[in-house]
Amino acid sequence: MTQRKIMNKRIIITGATKGIGLAIAEKFASEGFDLAVCSRNNDDLKAMKTAFKEQFPKVKLHIKKADLSKKKQVLAFAEFVKKTWDKFDVLMNNAGVFLPGEITKEADGTLESQIETNLYSAYHLTRAVLPLMLPQKSGHVFNMCSIASFMAYPNGGSYSISKFALLGFSKVLREELKTQGIKVTSIMPGATWSASWDGVDLPKARLAKAEDIAEVAWSAYVLSPSAVMEDVVIRPQLGDL
């Protein structure tokens, strides 16, 4: 008798080579997921490919350089995924950038750049790849929001505006997909160790770990089909900075 080949589950992760994105990639790879990932830096992608080949030899990692602030490159990444897979299980819209400032003082064009990277990337990619997920009547979309998605704070500026909008996108998507068997989760981390905090002189315990966010994402994913974790807020134990 011919044994049926068991396919690994599959996850798409944007901004996957550093910080939270990398931690999520490592967590899902450790659980046997194949991955399709993108980053703006080709050297980082190659380094990730090399590391994952050693750490997770049974996992397939597909890499694509893409600047998700540009719609054409978002859609090119989506086409890359479609040519690689005919279906997938999880979409992790993680790519984002933080530009601190005040609305009245930040440089002209800051709002546009923040919206393009933090909102439009998730919007365009989700629309482009959902046709691969919808026929399954199952799947999970995660949007990496922020505590800036529900509260204003000093120097939040256009970043906070973009993250408020991303949470709104998440809530609309949740409403539209709940009868299709597809879950939508908004993850809202507070200060978390990542490249954005390089060089900051703070104790390691003062910020959350990227691995903490990955564990929360996994916990949300493994709930039964009848339950969904809609909104998750994760803060450092000692509170916001």
In tens, the pLDDT along 87-104 reads 999 999 999 999 999 999
Predicted local distance difference test score (pLDDT) of residue 231: 97
Share of the chain above pLDDT 90, in %: 85
Region 31-54: mean pLDDT is: 97
The residue ranges of every structural domain in the chain are 10-234
In tens, the pLDDT along 122-153 reads 999 999 999 999 999 999 999 999 999 999 98
Predicted local distance difference test score (pLDDT) of residue 239: 86
Region 218-223: mean pLDDT is: 98
Predicted local distance difference test score (pLDDT) of residue 4: 41
- φ and ψ of 50, to 5 deg: -65, -45
Strand residues in the chain grouped as ranges (E): 10-14, 34-39, 61-65, 90-93, 139-144, 182-189, 231-234
In tens, the pLDDT along 55-82 reads 999 999 999 999 999 999 999 999 999 9
Predicted local distance difference test score (pLDDT) of residue 105: 96
Place of tokens 């910020």: 207
Contact status, residue 41 vs residue 49, Cβ threshold 8 Å: no
Distance, in Å, from the CA atom of 239 to the CA atom of 241, rounded to the nearest integer, reads 7
Confidence of residue 2 (pLDDT cuts 50, 70, 90): very low
pTM score, two decimals? 0.93
Give yes or no for residue 195 having a pLDDT over 90.
Answer: no
- Cα–Cα distances in angstroms (integers) from residue 101 to residues 130, 157, 205, 226, 235, in the given order: 34, 5, 26, 42, 22
The alpha carbon of 79 is separated from its chain's Cα centroid by a whole number of angstroms, namely: 18
CATH superfamily of 10-234: NAD(P)-binding Rossmann-like Domain (3.40.50.720)
